[in-house]
Structure 1
Amino acid sequence: MARLEYLELPVGDREAAKHFYAKAFGWRFTDFGPDYAATMSGDTDVGLDAAPEKVKAPLPVIRVEDLEATLAAVTAAGGTIAVPIFAFPGGRRFHFRDVDGHELAAMQPD
């Protein structure tokens, strides 16, 4: 069953963002390279993306069991693929736009 797994936030300064969320909510982050950090609670987690090619707005990420089948279903439902399937540490994902133009991602963990 698909569920909202993750919310990725574009940030200008990863360390400042980590400090803010730690102080405001007590969240702890794990660093993944120089530009990315994420909570690892196992519930709906938050990623902080400071990479130059980061998304421009918050990105909801939906966990799915079959990435290729989901890509086909998104396309059949009228969605458009914004970023083709790619691998990242922990799995694979693609980005898509829904019928209103909202960008989301679907991911399948390793």
Structure 2
Amino acid sequence: MSNETLINYAELPCRNLTATKQFFSEVFGWTFTDYGPSYVEFHDKGIVGGFYESDNASLTASGATLLVFYTPELESLQTKIERNGGTIIKPVFEFPGGRRFHFTEPSGNEFAVWSDK
């Protein structure tokens, strides 16, 4: 048995489970497993976690952890996010190592996307 301790699950608040599921399914291809009316688990190539029903949102302005996606096609993904109900809250900016932007999904949670391209 290994002594490794790994982060292997993330849970986020969600104001509208239906809208959030549709957004992540359309934009990122995530799949979901419903566990009752107020919790849904998400599945992705890089992370597994859940959304729980809440009036709160995960925002860096209130000290929340920021989950960051990587893509080689930053502008293309930004367009897809906007077309599916996401809101860009920090437009594309450069930083050492690449470029990124921040967005909120339909339930108001903040995420970022970066690219080294």
TM-score by length of 1: 0.49
TM-score, scaled relative to structure 2: 0.46
